[in-house]
Amino acid sequence: MRRTPKDSAESSRRITRRGLLLGGAQLGVMGLLGARMRYMQVDQADEFRLLAEENRVNIRLIPPARGEIFDRNGRLVAGNEQAYRIVITREDAGDVDAVIDRLSRIVKLDPDELEKARTEMARSAPFLPITLADRVSWDDISRVAVNAPALPGITPEVGLSRIYPLGKDFAHVVGYVGPISDYDLERMEEPDQLLRIPRFQIGKVGIESKLEDNLRGKAGARRVEVNATGRVMRELSRREGQPGANLQLTIDHMLQNYVQARMGDDSASAVVMDCQTGDLLAIGSSPSYDPNLFVRGISVADYKALTENDYRPLASKTVQGTYPPGSTFKMVAALAGLEAGIITAEDTYYCPGHLEVGGRRFHCWKGGGHGHMNLEGSLRESCDVYYYELALEVGIERISDMAQRLGIGVRHDIPMSAVAQGLAPDKAWKKEIRGEDWLIGDSVNSAIGQGFVLASPLQLAVMTARIATGHAVSPRLLKSVDTVEQPDGRGPSLGLNENHLRQVRKAMYQVSNNRRGTAYSNRIAEDAFRMAGKTGTSQVRNITAAERARGVTRNDQLPWNRRDHALFVNFAPYDNPRVAVAVVVEHGGGGSTAAAPLARDITLQALYGDDPPLTAYPEKDRGRIRSQQERLRALRPADESSAKSRA
The CATH number that applies at residue 228 is 3.90.1310.10
Q: How confident is the model at residue 540, as a pLDDT?
A: 79
Rounded Cα gap, residues 512 and 514, in angstroms: 6
CA-derived radius of gyration, the chain: 37
Residues 290 and 437 in one domain: yes
Domain boundary among 145, 161, 177: 161
Q: How confident is the model at residue 89, as a pLDDT?
A: 81
Q: Is residue 309 part of a domain?
A: no
Q: How confident is the model at residue 50, as a pLDDT?
A: 54
Residues 149 and 190 in one domain: no
Q: At what angle do helices 498-513 and 457-469 cross, to 10 degrees?
A: 120
Residues 141 and 181 in one domain: no
Q: Is 194 left (phi over 0), alpha (psi -120 to 50) or beta?
A: alpha
- The CB density around residue 530, as the number of other CB atoms within 10 Å, is 16
Do 263 and 602 meet the contact criterion of CB atoms below 8 Å apart?
Answer: no
Rounded Cα gap, residues 272 and 462, in angstroms: 10
Residues 245 and 264 in one domain: no
Rounded Cα gap, residues 93 and 115, in angstroms: 17
Q: How do strand 478-481 and strand 371-373 relate by DSSP bridges?
A: unpaired
Burial class (CB in 10 A: 0-12, 13-18, 19+), 249: buried
The CATH number that applies at residue 90 is 3.30.1390
Q: How confident is the model at residue 451, as a pLDDT?
A: 94
The SS3 of residue 364 is: coil
Residues 225 and 245 in one domain: yes
Burial class (CB in 10 A: 0-12, 13-18, 19+), 127: middle
Residues 357 and 421 in one domain: yes
Residues 419 and 471 in one domain: yes
Domain of 129, in residue numbers: 83-161
Q: How confident is the model at residue 145, as a pLDDT?
A: 85
Q: How confident is the model at residue 475, as a pLDDT?
A: 98
DSSP state of 589: -
Residues 216 and 145 in one domain: no
Domain boundary among 135, 161, 187: 161
Residues 134 and 91 in one domain: yes
Three state DSSP letters for 280-311: EEEEEEECCCCCHHHHHCCCHHHHHHHHCCCC
Nearest alpha carbon to residue 478 among 222, 283, 320 = 283
Q: Is residue 8 part of a domain?
A: no
The whole-model pTM stands at 0.85
Q: How confident is the model at residue 515, as a pLDDT?
A: 97
Nearest alpha carbon to residue 409 among 449, 375, 468 = 449
Q: Is residue 494 part of a domain?
A: yes
Rounded Cα gap, residues 438 and 425, in angstroms: 10
Q: How confident is the model at residue 582, as a pLDDT?
A: 98
Nearest alpha carbon to residue 135 among 110, 100, 169 = 110
Residues 278 and 230 in one domain: no
Nearest alpha carbon to residue 371 among 346, 343, 349, 345 = 349
Q: Is residue 214 part of a domain?
A: yes
Positions in the chain whose pLDDT score sits under 70: 1-20, 23, 40-61, 127-128, 197-199, 226-233, 545, 547-549, 638-647
Q: Is residue 13 part of a domain?
A: no
Q: Is residue 99 part of a domain?
A: yes
The CATH number that applies at residue 416 is 3.40.710.10
Rounded Cα gap, residues 548 and 568, in angstroms: 26
Q: How do strand 220-226 and strand 232-239 relate by DSSP bridges?
A: antiparallel
Domain boundary among 98, 131, 161: 161
Query: Any idea which residues carry the catalytic annotation?
Result: 327
Residue type, 112: D
Residues 131 and 230 in one domain: no
Q: How confident is the model at residue 121, as a pLDDT?
A: 83
Q: How confident is the model at residue 54, as a pLDDT?
A: 46
Q: How confident is the model at residue 154, as a pLDDT?
A: 87
Distances from the Cα of 402 to the Cα of 64, 283, 422, 568, angstroms? 48, 25, 14, 20
Residues 155 and 192 in one domain: no
Rounded Cα gap, residues 499 and 505, in angstroms: 10
Rounded Cα gap, residues 219 and 441, in angstroms: 60
Rounded Cα gap, residues 217 and 195, in angstroms: 11
Q: How confident is the model at residue 460, as a pLDDT?
A: 98
Q: Is residue 536 part of a domain?
A: yes
Do 524 and 530 meet the contact criterion of CB atoms below 8 Å apart?
Answer: yes
Q: Write out pLDDT tens, residues 321-370.
A: 999 999 999 999 999 999 999 999 999 999 999 999 988 999 999 999 99
Q: What's the first-to-final CA gap in the chain, in angstroms?
A: 109
- Structurally, how many domains does the chain consist of? 3
Spatial neighbors of 320 by CB under 8 A, at least 6 apart, are 417, 418, 419, 420, 456
